[in-house]
Amino acid sequence: MAASAAKTKAMMRQTTSKPKNRSAETADPSAPFKKSAFETKQAPASEREAFKGQTLTPNIAERTAKLEAAQTTKGASRTAVAVSKVGVPHGGSKAPRLSTVGTKVKPPAVATAEYTIAKTREFISNSPVTRGGEPPSVSEVFPGFTFLERRELAVLLLDAISVAVDRWTDEAYFDDLAIFAVHANGQPGCLNGPALDPAIRAALPASLTGQKEVMAKSVAEAFSDSFALWQANVTVPGLPWYPAFAFWPGPEADPMPNVPSPLGACVSQYVTKMVVPFELEGAISSAVPAVMREERVLIRSLAGSLSRAFAVWRSHATVQNVIGFGPVPAWAPPFVPAHSVSEGSVVPEPPHIYASPFRSRLFSM
């Protein structure tokens, strides 16, 4: 037992006498990197003497220097940004800012007043509206209309459009119709009339200038284009306008007017461009400048009022006084004393459309 205890004590003394980190005792504190193979006994003595003291290769040393410089710059940038974010400390005075001359400092996360003013001036100077010292046009800068301005402009536009449509009614006429017996046939384009845009602009007051003038001309153009699209596709689908031409006793039928019929009977595939409010609203929105498309209340009110007025005017308008005539090629007395007209035509003399005045009232605003 005594021998075993003595042996155990001897082993404990040997364990405590050994260093815990053998490399810590043998490592050179001045050498930050591990010794190369030339400094150990793995290489010949002559090579170890020639390479003695060269513990770093040139590439490693250069990379180490760049890494240290980058870490220094990054630390300075973070410090400058942190200091710039600091407001007023508890003492009441502003925190001192570090000098970052020669270092790349990022802009502060929260822009200061000077920074905001500088960026705003730069944006204004580079903006296409003010570049070159030219004043901005009405189409580029639009502050918007007030309620009274919208209402006044809408009333003026509706009155001008009413005058233009009434003038068009007096000058519209049918042409290129083909008459066979009692029926009149007309292809798209048979209804002719003047454009509405010049008449609408002429009916607008001369005092309308600036933004109101731009809006008024855009609405006039949109309504005129939609009206012209409806007019260009009006057809006469075999309407029984000339009952006397079914059995005419002579070689040629005398000129006579047609039987009055509603204008709505002359169908057009683009009538929805005029009677559907959102179709007309889309046309006006496309015609006005982009900065004025925010006036949705005015555009929607004009489109609704004009579409309702057109629907009422079209339902009350009649087509009459269309003078028709034509030959009777099958007439051969005494065997065929009377026959129907074939390939007859009409006299293109206005007016052919009779309607009550176009009343476009402002329904809502």
User: What's the CA gap between 191 and 267, in Å, rounded?
Assistant: 11
Query: Of 77-81, 237-241, 249-253, 279-283, where does mean pLDDT reach its minimum?
Result: 77-81
pLDDT of residue 207: 85
Predicted confidence at residue 11, as pLDDT, reads 66
Percent of the chain scoring above 90 in pLDDT: 50
Q: What is the predicted pLDDT for the residue at 82? A: 45
Note the pLDDT of residue 224: 96
Q: What is the DSSP string of 347-359?
A: ---S--EE-----
Q: Which bin fits 180, alpha (ψ -120 to 50), beta or left (φ > 0)?
A: beta
Mean pLDDT comparison of 24-38, 291-305, 308-322, highest-scoring range: 308-322
Sheet with 261-262, side-by-side order of all strands: 261-262, 318-319, 353-354
d(CA 173, CA 177): 11
**Pick the residue with more confidence: 246 or 128?**
246
pLDDT in tens, 195-232: 999 999 999 998 888 889 999 999 999 999 999 999 99
pLDDT for position 299: 93
Least confident of 233-237, 248-252, 330-334: 330-334
- Indicate the pLDDT class of residue 119, thresholds 50, 70 and 90: low
Mean pLDDT of the chain: 77
* pLDDT grade for 318, boundaries at 50, 70 and 90: very high
Per-residue pLDDT at 9: 65
What is the SS3 assignment for 117?
helix
Q: Judge contact between 233 and 268, C-beta under 8 A.
A: yes
How far is CA 159 from each of CA 154, 156, 194, rounded to the nearest angstrom? 9, 5, 18
With a cut of 70, say whether residue 253 has pLDDT above it: yes
CA atoms within 13 A on the CB side of 166: 12
Query: Each residue of 20-60: pLDDT tens digit?
Result: 444 444 444 444 444 444 444 455 555 555 545 554 444 55
**Strand runs labelled E in 70-202:** 173-174, 178-180, 183-186, 191-192
Task: Give Cα 5 distance to the centre of its chain.
Answer: 97
Report the relative pairing of strands 318-319 and 353-354 from DSSP bridges. antiparallel
Of residues 241, 243, 274, 271, the one with CA closest to residue 174: 241
- Tokens for 97? 């800012």
DSSP string covering 176-227:
S-EEETTEEEE-TT-EE---HHHHHHHHS-TT--HHHHHHHHHHHHHHHHHH
Kindly provide the b/e burial profile for residues 225-235, where b requires at least 16 CB atoms within 10 angstroms of the residue's own CB. bbbbbbbebbb
Instruction: Kindly tell me if the per-residue pLDDT of 332 is higher than 80.
Output: yes
Written as one letter, the residue type at 39 is E
The domain segmentation of the chain, as residue ranges, is 147-354
Amino acid at 157: L
In 3-state terms, what secondary structure has residue 30? Answer: coil
Amino acid in the structure at residue 284? I
Give the pLDDT band (50/70/90) at residue 94.
very low
Comparing 78 with 214, the larger pLDDT belongs to 214
Q: DSSP letter at 52?
A: T
Q: What is the pLDDT of residue 83?
A: 42
Of 11-20, 101-110, 265-274, the one with minimum mean pLDDT is 101-110
Give the pLDDT confidence score for residue 12 in this predicted structure: 63
pLDDT confidence tier of residue 361, bands split at 50, 70 and 90: confident
The pLDDT assigned to 210 comes to: 86
The residue whose two tokens read 């402002």 is: 362
Average pLDDT for 231-249: 95
* CA within 13 Å, CB half, 131: 5
Two structure tokens written together for 344: 């007859």
> Does residue 277 surpass a pLDDT of 90?
yes
- pTM of the predicted model, to two decimals? 0.61
Average pLDDT value for residue range 176-189 = 95
6: pLDDT strictly greater than 70: no
